[in-house]
Copies of this chain bind each other. A is one copy, B any other.
Amino acid sequence: MTEDRFIRDLKIRTEKADRAVLSYLPKPERFNKTTVDAMLYSVGNGGKRLRPLLMIEFFKLNRNDEDLIYPFAAALEYIHSYSLIHDDLPCMDNSDLRRGKPSTHKQFGEWQALLAGDGLLNYAIETILNHTNYSKIPVETALICLKELLIASGINGMVGGQNLDLESEGKSLNIDELTLLQSKKTGAIIKAAGRIGVIASGGGGKTLRLADEYCENLGRMFQMTDDILDVCGNERLLGKPTNGDCSHNKSTFVSELGLEKAKKITGELAEKAIKAAKMLQNDFLGDLANFLLTRNK
| A-to-B contact residues, CB < 8 Å | 26, 29, 31-36, 39, 82, 86, 89, 91-92, 109-111, 114-115, 117-119, 121-123, 125-126, 129-130, 139-140, 143, 146-147, 150-151, 153-156, 159-164, 166-167, 180-181, 184
Contacts and interface: CB of A to CB of B under 8 A. Distances in A.
A92 B110 CA distance: 8
B119 A91 contact: no
B31 A160 contact: yes
Contacts of A26: 155
Classify the interface of chain A: helix, strand, loop or mixed. Answer: helix
A291 to B, nearest CB: 31
B160 A32 contact: yes
Nearest to A79: B122
B130 A147 contact: yes
Given A111-B166, A155-B35, A122 B121 contact: yes
A154 B122 contact: yes
Given A143-B139, A160-B31, A126 B154 contact: yes
A114 B91 contact: yes
A164 B111 CA distance: 12
23 contacts: A31-B160, A31-B161, A31-B163, A31-B181, A31-B184, A32-B159, A32-B160, A33-B163, A34-B167, A35-B155, A82-B118, A91-B114, A92-B111, A115-B163, A115-B166, A121-B122, A122-B150, A122-B155, A126-B147, A126-B150, A126-B154, A130-B147, A139-B143
B31 A154 contact: no
Contact of A31 (B89, B147, B180): B180
A160 to B, nearest CB: 4
Given A31-B163, A139-B139, 16 more contacts: A31-B161, A31-B184, A32-B159, A32-B164, A35-B155, A35-B160, A91-B110, A91-B111, A115-B163, A117-B118, A118-B118, A118-B159, A122-B159, A126-B150, A126-B151, A130-B147
A151 to B, nearest CB: 7
A146 to B, nearest CB: 6
B35 A119 contact: no
A72 to B, nearest CB: 14
A109 B166 CA distance: 12
A143 to B, nearest CB: 6
Contacts of A161: 31
